[in-house]
Structure 1
Amino acid sequence: MTSRDPRAPELARLAGLIADETRAACLLALLDGRAWTAGELARHAGVAASTASEHLHRLVAGGVLAEERQGRHRYVRLADARVAQLVEDLAAQVAPGAVVRRPRGLRETSSGSAMARGRTCYDHFAGRLGIAVTDALTARGLLLPTSEPEGRAGVERSTARRPEGLSTGGLSTPAGAPRRRTSEERATGFALTDAGLRWFDSAGITLDRTSRRPLARACLDWTERRPHLAGVAGAALCRHALDVGWCVRIGSARAVKVTPEGERALSELLGIEAEALH
């Protein structure tokens, strides 16, 4: 008789934590990467504050959410990037035709359009904005999809030419030099090329090379149905864009919009046309 996988009980427990519409609504809201109060999440999910508190308590106890207290206020956020990835991946599995409820008014329609145009997916960009950035990085040879099979020797060659005016950032490996993909890169779907590392350095975007997270990771976009850039690089780019004013948040939701300054920067750095961002 085959023994049961010892991970089964923990998987069932985790699935049970998520398998509730109110808790799912809270988790999706928290994908904006910020901390929310129980009252804010209650209003978002359309339930009583006491009901929301009960659900949030279960999620905190189960390790899905982390709790923070400031004075009398209690905040919750997603426990870590792995939880965010799990929620986003599950949301991406919902078939486009499965959501049949029509928007309740112009405000909800506008909110949905803004989310599809550009939003944060925990700590990186998603929607058309995330896809436009990912496509531009890929087209310039700065980012490489790694889900495609390699050659017999398992070696890839970066064919990207370094964009004019970008410094080498102290990295001596020339563009075009062969480099073997690591097992982590093959598993995460994206890898930064050497030219990509130089691009981030020259753009003033610091990458935390000591992080245990993948440097680059493919995250399936639930509106575009294509992968966008996540991981350390995706988070650093998103954080930089918000810090310097290339993008601003819209209200309290996950939606973001690109500012005129951001349009100029993305055009100069990645050749992204403004039409692709709207």
Structure 2
Amino acid sequence: MELAEALAGTAALLGEPARASMLWSLLDGRARPAGELAFAANISAQSASNHLARLLEAGLLAVETQGRHRYYRLAGPQVGMALESLAALSPRPQTRQLPASRGTPESLRHARSCYDHLAGALAVTLLRRMEQDRLLSLQKRDYRLSEKGESLLARFGLDLGALRGAKRRFACACMDWSEREFHLGGALGAALLEEFLRRRWLLRNPDSRVLQLTPAGRRGLRESFGVDC
């Protein structure tokens, strides 16, 4: 009976059209702010806040805080699997197309500095490739290097011992505001950006945080990390 009641409670949460639309909008794995989720569900910001609070309380959503902003994502792959299973039994929810990041120059979205580490689409692609190649793995909000990762980054010229001894987190997940996925922060993220700049794979723009990817950088990232950009 307790399991049946719990199942009925979860089904009731998913059965509300606005909440279903917001959850479906997060199925791609990206994190989104409340404003975009309200737009997807065609509801007011206040109503969206109430729905999001209920979904968080039920454990269906997780929230990441980045500065003054809060980004929502599915709490885990099991939530996505449940949504896809329900979609196989019913018509797909009709969600409105989400707006692009208006007013954001494409160069800024592609590559920029985030404090002292790399951000933007390039940073997200690099981190995703490092995870796929099992160079590192995410545990809560911190990354751990595998033996393969340790070897590759040591050959790349990073002093991992010194980075671990720094008075900051070694490698952490940092939410990318334009891509709505994680990029690599912490001492390791900063060291990678510093090395990319030293090798002139990336060049700084003196007037902004935009970073320019050079032809040498394209070759280097492909040869060293398997990243095509």
Instruction: Provide closer, same or farther for how the CA distance between residues 261 and 222 of structure 1 changes in structure 2, counting only shifts above 3 A.
Output: same
Amino acid at match of 1:253: S
Amino acid at match of 1:249: R
SS at match of 2:66: helix
Residue matched to 1:113: 106
Of 129, 132, 139, 1:139 maps to: 132
User: Aligned equivalents of 1:98 and 1:92: distance in 2?
Assistant: 18
After TM superposition, give the deviation of residue 211 of structure 1 in Å.
0.7
Alignment of structure 1 residues 176-215 onto 2, 5 Å? 188-207=141-160, 208-215=163-170
Of 214, 217, 228, 1:259 maps to: 214
User: Aligned equivalents of 2:119 and 2:69: distance in 1?
Assistant: 12
Of 163, 174, 186, 1:231 maps to: 186
After TM superposition, give the deviation of residue 200 of structure 1 in Å.
0.9
Instruction: Provide closer, same or farther for how the CA distance between residues 270 and 99 of structure 1 changes in structure 2, counting only shifts above 3 A.
Output: closer
After TM superposition, give the deviation of residue 238 of structure 1 in Å.
0.3
Residue matched to 1:222: 177
SS at match of 1:93: strand
8 Å contact kept, 1:146–1:190: yes
Aligned length: 138
SS at match of 2:177: coil
User: Aligned equivalents of 1:92 and 1:230: distance in 2?
Assistant: 17
Output the TM-score relative to the length of structure 2.
Answer: 0.55
Output the TM-score relative to the length of structure 1.
Answer: 0.46
SS at match of 1:198: helix
User: Aligned equivalents of 1:190 and 1:247: distance in 2?
Assistant: 24
Question: Is it true that 1:123 corresponds to 2:116 in the alignment?
Answer: yes
After TM superposition, give the deviation of residue 258 of structure 1 in Å.
1.1
Identity of aligned residues (%): 31
Deviations 1:156-202 (A, max 9, x none): xxxxxxxxxxxxxxxxxxxxxxxxxxxxxxxx332222221111101
**Structure 2 portions without partners, runs of 5+:** 1-64, 73-97
Instruction: Provide closer, same or farther for how the CA distance between residues 91 and 226 of structure 1 changes in structure 2, counting only shifts above 3 A.
Output: farther
RMSD over aligned Cα atoms? 2.4
SS at match of 1:222: coil
